[in-house]
A and B are shown apart, each in its own frame.
Chain A
Amino acid sequence: MEKTVKSNIINNPRLRNKLIFYVLMLALPFIQLCLFYVYVNFSTIYMSFFKMVERVGVLGFDMQFAFPDNFVHVWNEIIVEHAWKIGNSAKMYAIDFPIALTLQLIFSYYIYKKYPMSGFFKVILYMPALISSLVFAILFNRLMYDGYMELRSIIDFGDTSHAGDYEGFLYDDNTVFLGVMVFNIWCQFGVNILMYSGAMSGIDESIVESCHLDGCNLIQEFWYISVPLIFPTLIALTITSITGIFNNQFGLLSLYGEQLSGLSQEAVRKVNTMGFYMYLQTKRITDLREQLYGIEHTASELCAYGLCVTLVVIPIVFGVRHLLYKYGPSVD
């Protein structure tokens, strides 16, 4: 059979041309894929097991097998040392995800049902995806800093002269966590709303009509018809979101910059996440000037960390997917 195909390709000029065209057109994308997905992933694994050792007498470094040094470093210097950042990431995700998801589904349902001003709300909810999160973060930061201080001062004292007594919603130790969470939830409707409302618009009208004939109200229709029927979309977006638990910076870079400027030690302990920390570490290994001041982790150690997180996240992703399919809502 294989022989026939081969002889066909050789003897049939049309098939041969087709194959040549196929190979030529696919060459660049395939090379790109090999480099930036296959090679990069293998390189990450390779670097996890090796460390760079300075050559004696000449400039340069050699790669030396160093298992389990990098992983020991990851455990002691990253996971144990920064366990509170991992805790913050998990805590923020546990609060952020259910609230955002619930609001996204309810708003999408409102838009799908084409209730008053749904077109206008659709545009408004898309704004955070359209305009850079950096723009919203900077404006939110300034308004919550300067504006909040003035507002609190007016409420408490009746004039703005006491404004300096307050630190601002995003900087006060007591409100910083709330401020970051509000910003994150507020900013993440955009594309997901369009996805969910798009999926809901594919629901068969006859199902919805029969639901109403059975006496269902809107909340029952939402819960027993709309959510189960868009469940595959919900699972896909949930999985994407879980993948980013330990990568998610929760907007800290946009809100405060890399130094988390203006935050007290206590405030930093409340909001700093693992995603933010590792993002900055990666940035630092690309900057020679940063290295002059010394870096906390080498590239190999960061790769080892990435490998560890991947090995943790993969079972979580598949486990959650399995549970959602098994115990998730059913249309029946």
Chain B
Amino acid sequence: MKSKSKIDLIFKICVASFLVFYALTIFILLGWGLIQSFRYIDDYTYNGALSLPTKIEGFEAEFYNALKFGNYKTIMEHFYCESKVSYFTMFDSVNAVSINHGDVGVGGLLFNTLYMAVICSFAQVFITYLVAFLCAKYKFKFSAFIYGLVIFMMTVPTVGTQPATVKLLQDLNLFGRYGGMLLMRCCFGGMYFLVFYGFFEGLPDSYVEAAEIDGASQLNILLTIIIPLGIKTILTITLILFVANWNDYSMSYIYMPSIPTLALAVYELAHIGYKHSSLTGDVYKIAGTMMLAIPITLIFVLFRDKIMGDISAGGLKG
């Protein structure tokens, strides 16, 4: 019995130590990034990356103070991302076009990011909720077919469909358009479909039947009973997808280069330096990066329990 509690204690201490170490690495990295984002370029170059903000004699920093809050202002003024559509010639060179819509500034980048993070996320969650409701509560054969198809899509992987997706968007004249982005996101399936489906399976039919007896139309039932019942879950999952879409730069990178987002602009700032001649220097790269991280961290602080609680509840229980 004594050796058992000794093993338990060692196990707990080992895991806790590892976790403390992990937490430290996260704090060090983010803390380091935040501090560096307030430094002068001269200070960073002269004193190195491991130093704290310091005044340097003879350099610009001397005249003010050690911290330069203007880095963020400079980024706001000069941050941009090129908006372009380059249709590929290989499918149909008659339609081969390369349109440059010009540079999108911070305001435009924020608009595109919010469009993707708010509207596209909400549309995706709402469609998933709606289809799960229809499949669970309308016992047509087609409902069973859709459910089977979702399971099939989750079980059988398909790889390398990006070229065909790009071609489809181009054929529909939706490549590089807001409508195309929205249509791509109006999909259902995956884990959240199963979560909603399970929710509706457990919901007694009497809710809907009572409303039908009272003469409510199907649309009324949807708007006044079904949506209010799940509005909290809808908003919570929208919040989770908001985080994912805010961070996503591959959507703009591959499918929607004419709708650049903040994440894509940060990627270009960090890795395609020549596009940002007025923002050269690691300090700006780091400050740009923090600009992407800070809003999402604030949202997390406000809605922490919602975001994390829902994922746990939606886990595939054993």
Contact = CB atoms under 8 A, between A and B. Distances in A.
Interface of A: 14, 17-19, 21-22, 25-26, 28-30, 32-33, 35-37, 39-41, 43-44, 47, 52, 54, 59-61, 103, 106-107, 109-110, 115-117, 120-136, 138-143, 146-147, 150-151, 160, 163, 186, 191, 194-203, 215, 217-219, 229-233, 236, 239, 243, 246-247, 253-254, 256-259, 261, 278-279, 282-283, 285-291, 298-299, 302-303, 305-307, 309-310, 313-314, 317
Most buried by B among A26, A309, A313: A26
Interface in B40-62: 48-50
B224 interface: no
Given A230-B318, A302-B160, A314-B157, A60 B304 contact: no
B171 to A, nearest CB: 9
Contacts of A30: 146
B87 A288 contact: yes
The 10 closest A-B pairs by CB, nearest first: A306-B160, A257-B271, A198-B315, A146-B49, A288-B86, A132-B247, A21-B218, A198-B312, A243-B157, A230-B318
B282 interface: yes
Contact of B130 (A29, A142, A233): A29
Interface of B: 1, 4, 7-8, 11-12, 15-16, 18-19, 22-23, 25-26, 29-30, 32-33, 36, 48-50, 86-94, 96-98, 127, 130-131, 134, 138, 140, 142, 146, 149, 153, 155-168, 172, 175, 183-184, 186-189, 212, 217-219, 222, 243, 246-247, 249, 253-255, 257, 263, 266-267, 270-272, 282, 285-286, 289-290, 292-293, 296-297, 300, 304, 307-308, 311-318
8 contacts: A22-B140, A39-B168, A132-B266, A135-B247, A151-B50, A218-B8, A236-B316, A282-B162
A299 B7 contact: no
A186 B149 contact: no
Contact of B296 (A33, A121, A130, A201): A130
A29 B186 CA distance: 7
A260 to B, nearest CB: 10
B157 A283 contact: no
B87 A198 contact: no
Given A186-B25, A195-B311, A232 B292 contact: no
Contacts of A21: 217-219
A313 B7 contact: no
A123 B304 CA distance: 8
Contacts of A233: 315-318
Contact of B16 (A29, A33, A110, A298): A110
Given A22-B134, A136-B29, A282 B16 contact: no
A18 B247 CA distance: 40
A52 B90 contact: yes
Contacts, number: 317
A285 B26 CA distance: 37
Contacts of B25: 186
Contacts of A194: 308, 311-312, 315
A199 B184 contact: no
Contacts of A139: 29-30, 32-33, 286, 289
B29 A143 contact: yes
B267 A134 contact: yes
A291 B90 contact: yes
A226 B254 CA distance: 41
